[in-house]
Amino acid sequence: MPRLLIVNCSPDALLQRVAAEGSRKYDALFVEAIGLHVPDGQTLDHFTLNVADGEGLPQGVQIGDFDGVWLSGSPFNVYRLDQPTVREQIELARAIWQAAVPTFGSCWGLQLMTAALGGTVHLNPRGREIGVARRIRPTEAGRSHALLRGKERTFDALCTHEDEVATLPPAATVLASNETSAVQAASISEGGRSFWGVQYHPEFDFAAVAAIIALRVERHLNEGLARSSEEVAGIVADFRDLSRDPARKDLAWRYGVDSDVLDPKLRTAEFGNWFQAEVLPAAARR
């Protein structure tokens, strides 16, 4: 039975606010997403660590006891080293890397491991990317990498971020890019250690994106992403409707979205690819 460590990198207070806006906590979204790719008859054991709230692993439990680690999104900035939780999470990422457990990072997870291994992250000079990350293109390396197996030559993904990877650490490879961020997906491999990361959120559905947007109305107005709170409310309502009924052709046409973000298995394919290529072999070696 594969065993996963889910690292919630966001404070639980924020996750409760996200849930109150009609979504679920990030660990629940991930479990559902990766569950779409677990073979029939196979169960998945998982443990959630709320690292942003200061939790540590229970006594007697080691990182190496797991077959895979997922690093979630977070509201923090990895370059804010004045914040204790940022420093603590960087140290945890280094420990995970040293333990040689296959790891996947979504958004902050990619930025966190990048910083932990010597790369850099900065505020994106092109601005915030929220809602749908458009026209993500696999690089030549990405087209042959297992992470993006089943993805189109150009695809969209659900997202929310204002920071981006500026420079990758040694032994890293860019796997996908778009006009907003040169690093939309990357892998790091060295000495039997493996990390896969994406700047977007394969675990998100439209309800999750709607919740994030609803919590940041003033920010979107200040950044010029919308002209009024009513406009934002309309987008939130549409995204919630699209989450409930992905077959809504009118909403798909209105927002220019297709199966790459509407089909749950295709939207979460990166998790399935990681599970098959990295987690199951690690579990088999145990």
pLDDT at position 286: 78
pLDDT band at 25 (very low <50, low <70, confident <90, very high): very high
Between CA 44 and CA 218 the distance in angstroms is: 40
pLDDT band at 243 (very low <50, low <70, confident <90, very high): very high
The residue that leads in pLDDT, 137 or 1, is 137
Helices (H) and strands (E) in the chain, counts: 13, 11
**Domains of the chain listed by start with CATH number:** 3-205+263-285 (3.40.50.880), 207-255 (no CATH)
- Say yes or no to pLDDT of 241 above 90: yes
pLDDT at position 84: 97
pLDDT at position 174: 99
pLDDT at position 41: 77
**Nearest-CA neighbor of 117 among 132, 105, 134, 135?**
105
- Say yes or no to pLDDT of 169 above 90: yes
pLDDT at position 40: 82
Contact (CB, 8 A) for 3 and 66: yes
**What is the set of active-site residues?**
107, 201, 203
Contact (CB, 8 A) for 183 and 120: no
Residue range 64-111, pLDDT digits in tens: 999 999 999 999 999 999 999 999 999 999 999 999 999 999 999 999
**Nearest-CA neighbor of 71 among 48, 47, 101, 105?**
105
